[in-house]
Amino acid sequence: MSEREAAAAVVAPEDVHAITPELVAAVSQALAEARHAEARSTASGLHVADLADLLEQLPPPQRGQLVTVLGRGLDPEALPELDGTVLEDVLAALAPHDLAAAIAALDTDDAVYLLERLDETRREEVLRRVPAPDRVAVAEALALPEESAGRLMQRELIAVPLFWTVGQVIDYCRETADLPDDFYEIYLVDPRHKPVGQVALNRLLRARRPVLMRDIVSVEVHPIALDMDREEVAFLFRQYRLTSGPVVDGDGRLVGVITFDDVAEVIQEEAQEDMLRLSGVSQESDINEPVLRTVRSRALWLGVNLGTAFVASFVIGLFDATIEKVVALAVLMPIVASMGGNAGMQAVTVTVRAIATKEVTAANALRMVWKECGVGLLNGVLFAGLVGVVAGLVFQQRDLGLVIAAAMATNLVVAGLCGTLIPLALDRRGVDPAVAASVFLTCVTDVIGFLAFLGLATLVLL
C-alpha cells in the first residue's frame, strides 16, 4: 500500500474508526521491511487517540520500533491515551531525555499518569531531566496518595482577584504565555489565594470590559481536598454537574483544577474495574497482558472459589445416602444452585452499582434489602412452580416436584437477601464489595440450595 492509499485508509468515511485493518497492516509491513519514512509519514498524521489505537493493534515488538521511528515526531498527548501493557512497552522504548521532554509538555495530571508507571530508578532518572518548575509540580503530585484528587488534578489554571475587571482578565489571558491548553472557568481568589467564586467563559465573554469580575461571579464553589478519593470527585461532578472543580490544600488555598474530561476517564475506569472485580479479575488485566501475568492475577480468586466449592461439596456429602436412594436428586441439584447463584449475582450487581454511585444510604438500605427479597420471592414462586411441575411429570413423583419447588423458592429468597446484605456489609467494613461479594454469595447460594433441596428430600422422600 502506498503512502497516499494509507492516508486514504485513515479517513475512510465508511468506517467510524480512523484505524482500519488495512492501515495497521500497512504500517506493520513498512516497519518489517525497514521502510521507516513511509511508516513515519502515515503515523505522524494521525490524531493522538488514533495513534494510540495504532500502537495497541501493532504486534508488541513493533510498538517500540514505531516509537523509535517517530522520534521527536511522537506527539506526547498520545501517551496518556495508552494504558496497561501497551503503555509499558512504549515507555520502555523511549529514551530518558525524550520521555522527560514529553513530561514537560504534558499537563501535570497526564505527566503523573506516565511517571507512576515507571520503576523508581527510571522515574528519578527521567525527573532529573525535566525542567525545574515542571519537576517540582510533578514530584509534589507523585507524593500524594494514589487515586486521590491530587493525582488527578492539573496545576495549570487561571486565578484572578475579585477586583479585576473583565477587560483585565481578557488582556491577561492574551498576554500570558503559560496558560492551560484548555480551560472552562476563571477562578476568583481572595488575598490568601482561597477560591471565593468562579466565572464561566461564556459569562466572561458576554460581559463588557469595565464590568468587575465580582459582579458576574458565581459563588457556588465546590472545593475538592487534595486527598479526596477520585470516586468521591466523580460523584461531586455528577451531583452538581460541574465542568471543572478547584482543588485546595489543607489551608484551603487553590492549588489545582480537575476538569470534566479527567473525571469522565475516572468514571469509565471505575466502571471497568468493578466489572472485572465482580468476575475475580485484576483491574490491570487487558488483552495485551502476557499469559503468565494474567494467570497470576486470576489464580488467587480461583483458589478462593475452589475453597468455597469444597464447602458446597461437604454439604452434598452429608446427604450421600439420600442421593443413592433417589438418583433424580443428582440430576436436579445443579438447577437449584444455578438459579440461586444467578439471582444472587443480579442482586449483587445492582447493589454494588448503587454503592458506587452513592444511591444507597443508611436511610434507604433496608428498603433495598426488602425489595430484593420480594423480587427473589416472586421469582422463586414463578420458577419454582414451573420447575416443580416439570420435575414431577418427568420423574413421575409429585413429592419430588414439591421438594425442588420449595428448595428453589427458598434459595431465591436467600439469594436476594444475601445479594444485598453481603455487599452492604463488606462496604461497611471497608472492603471493596466488587472484589469479594461474588465469592461469598456463590458459597452461600450453593450451600443453602443444596441444604434445602437435599434436606427436604430426606424428610419428604425417605
Q: Which residue has cell 521507516? A: 36
DSSP letter at 2 equals -
pLDDT exceeds 60 at position 11: no
CA angle 419, 314, 406 (to 5 degrees): 50
CATH label, 291-461, candidates 1.10.357.20, 3.30.1330.40, 1.20.210.10, 3.40.50.300? 1.10.357.20
Name the grid cell of 298.
486470576
Residue 186: pLDDT band (50, 70, 90) is very high
Look up the CATH superfamily of 3-149: MgtE N-terminal domain-like (1.25.60.10)
Can you tell me whether residue 197 is helix, strand or coil?
Answer: strand
End-to-end Cα separation, the chain, in angstroms: 77
Instruction: Looking at mean pLDDT, say which of 246-255, 344-353, 425-434 comes out highest.
Output: 246-255
Alpha carbon separation from 283 to 69, 150, 196, 271, 279 (Å, rounded): 32, 21, 39, 10, 10
- Tell which residue, 223, 226, 136, has the closest CA to residue 188: 223
Element (H, E) at 159: strand 159-161
Residue 4: pLDDT band (50, 70, 90) is very low
The contacts of residue 61 (CB under 8 Å, 6+ apart) are: none
pLDDT of residue 215: 93
Residue of higher predicted confidence among 373 and 305: 373
Q: Look over the chain and give the mean of its residue pLDDT values, rounded to a whole number.
A: 85
Q: Looking at 173-218, which runs of residues are DSSP E strands?
A: 185-189, 195-200
Alpha-carbon Rg for the chain, nearest whole angstrom, is 29
Residue 177: pLDDT band (50, 70, 90) is confident
Q: Which residue has cell 519537576? A: 135
b/e 167-205 (16+ beta carbons within 10 angstroms → b): ebbeeeeeeeeeeeeebbbbbbbeeebbbbbbbeeebbe
Name the grid cell of 379.
421469582
Contact between 235 and 221 (Cβ < 8 Å): no
User: Cα(459)–Cα(125) distance, rounded to whole angstroms?
Assistant: 73
pLDDT of residue 249: 93
CA angle 229, 235, 236 (to 5 degrees): 90
Q: Which residue has cell 454469595? A: 441
The class level of CATH for 159-259 reads alpha beta
Q: Which residue has cell 495513534? A: 51
Q: How many residues does the chain have?
A: 462
Domain ranges of the chain: 3-149, 159-259, 291-461
Can you tell me whether residue 117 is helix, strand or coil?
Answer: coil
User: What are the phi and psi torsion angles at 252 (to 5°)?
Assistant: 85, 10
Name the grid cell of 288.
495485551
Name the grid cell of 212.
468587575
pLDDT exceeds 90 at position 159: yes
DSSP letter at 286 equals -
Q: What integer is the mean pLDDT of 164-181?
A: 90
User: Cα(229)–Cα(315) distance, rounded to whole angstroms?
Assistant: 42
3-state helix, strand, coil in the chain (%, to 5): 70, 5, 25
User: Is 0.75 surpassed by the pTM of this model?
Assistant: no
Beta sheet of 159-161, edge-to-edge order:
159-161, 185-189, 195-200
Beta sheet of 244-248, edge-to-edge order:
224-225, 244-248, 254-259
Cα dihedral sign for 279, 285, 290, 294? negative
pLDDT of residue 14: 43
- Tell which residue, 12, 16, 62, has the closest CA to residue 39: 62
User: 218: which strand partners?
Assistant: 198
pLDDT of residue 285: 52
pLDDT of residue 8: 43
Residue of higher predicted confidence among 64 and 295: 64
pLDDT of residue 71: 86
User: Cα(218)–Cα(189) distance, rounded to whole angstroms?
Assistant: 12
Number of neighbours of residue 287 by Cβ within 10 angstroms: 9
% of the chain residues with pLDDT over 90 = 32
- 243: Cα separation from own chain's centroid: 20
Q: What integer is the mean pLDDT of 199-226?
A: 92
pLDDT of residue 288: 62
Q: For residue range 219-277, list pLDDT tens digits in order.
A: 788 999 999 998 889 889 988 888 899 999 999 999 999 998 888 888 777 766 666 66
% of the chain residues with pLDDT over 70 = 89
User: Cα(93)–Cα(382) distance, rounded to whole angstroms?
Assistant: 60
- Tell which residue, 153, 70, 71, has the closest CA to residue 109: 153
Q: What integer is the mean pLDDT of 345-352?
A: 87
pLDDT of residue 12: 42
pLDDT exceeds 50 at position 6: no
User: 189: which strand partners?
Assistant: 161, 195
